[in-house]
Structure 1
Amino acid sequence: MSRLALKQEGSRDPSRAALADAIARLAERQVERDRIKAAFDAAEQRGLDLYPEIDAAEVAVQEATALQRDELVASVMRGDEVPTNRRLSEAEARLAAAHQQQAAIREARKALRVDLDSFEESVRLAGGTVAEHARIVLWQAMPDLIRAAEPVRRQLRQMVEVLKLITDNRPHTLVANDPRSDYETALSFMRPVLMVATDSPSGDAAAWAAVFDSLLTDPDAPLPTIG
């Protein structure tokens, strides 16, 4: 299968080129997955459509069998030879063919399900590879982000050191007249520095999260301006 073409940029760096290739591989697997799924759905629909045919064939067999019984009784009473029932033979052949087709469709669905599951896993892994390469592209901004964050980090660290000095880093030793609200306020300043944030991204972080999402489909999506 030929590789799906993506927009090529002459200035694309190696990490973005790798991301573009990963996106193309993911697209190929998605196309093949969708093709197999369409075949699986068609087989499933054909199996459903076959039920009325089987029901109709079973009714035809029952009717032909009843007719043969009546004709057999009449022929015996007349002393004639046992009559043949072409209608029953045709109905039985029709029913057998429908059951044979049903079995073939069942086997086809089993094989397609195996292929579909395999390509679903392949798409999942390829999507993970795209995300990994997108993060590599974002990683290029790490030095600039660190330089921009360093002054703020130093300022916050100095504030935290002062707050720790005041609280002695032991909240259980607070005396009765220490304002609890001030201590909690101090902790609110300390936690973002000393703990990993778990809130949803906001501000600049939200912009970077949006760029990450864009990189999953566009290897040339620009990064936000730093500073």
Structure 2
Amino acid sequence: MTVEEYGLPDNIIKYLIAREDEELPPCTALKCEYIMSAGGLMVRARREGLQVCVPVAPTESDIPGLALVEPYAAFDYPRVPEDLITEMVARSRRACRGERDEEFVESLFHLNYDEARGGWLLHEPPQERRHSAVTPREDGADSSYGSALIEIHVHPEVVPHFSEQDDDEESGKFRVFGIIGNLFGEVRRLRIRVGVHDHFCEVPAAWLFELPRDVLDCVEEEGGAVASAGGFDLIRGRDADAAA
């Protein structure tokens, strides 16, 4: 069965081969593009404000005849100011019944950049909060859930990690995800990853956020999880196509 038989466009997902003697074209797929490179299989995608290329299945040794494609993340907007992180922490604390574990509930936030105002907007959508889960009540295309560039929620543990439940809930989206841990401790911990539909790659929080002094970056603490992907380039502005 082909996309033509369904009357669908043929550029929802594209498949490319990175040959040594050819340049990759700009990313034009509606969803994402898979690239077979010397270092293995990559996936890249673009949306307003964000372009990424991350490893999916890296090889132990280079594939002869193919070109290396370096992973990158390109953010068109300035970093999220630290006062918005402080505000998310404050709101999350107020939502809990107390500081004990049994009194904890998760909270969810969405962030978008407003070009007209020249700044980030914080949304706290209507949500169902539980100890180990949080669900937005609205998930339509015109909701903050549908348009968010960054999605943040809080976890009860001191050092937060994305759970299997997070993987399931965040699959199919193309955005930045974050979790804040140690909500009532002396310092908070923030873990950030980029999600390209069903593929995830952790990146340093400082790439996207101005961190308050009492918020630590999990990836930086752990020595840089992106190093396992063979390095990672951060690009500011709208120059990602030149890096591909």
TM-score using structure 2 length? 0.19
TM-score, normalised by the number of residues in structure 1:
0.20
Q: Which has a greater percent of strand? A: 2
Higher helix share: 1
Flag the structure with more relative contact order, 1 or 2, with Cα contacts below 8 A and sequence separation at least 6: 1
Q: Larger Rg: 1 or 2?
A: 1
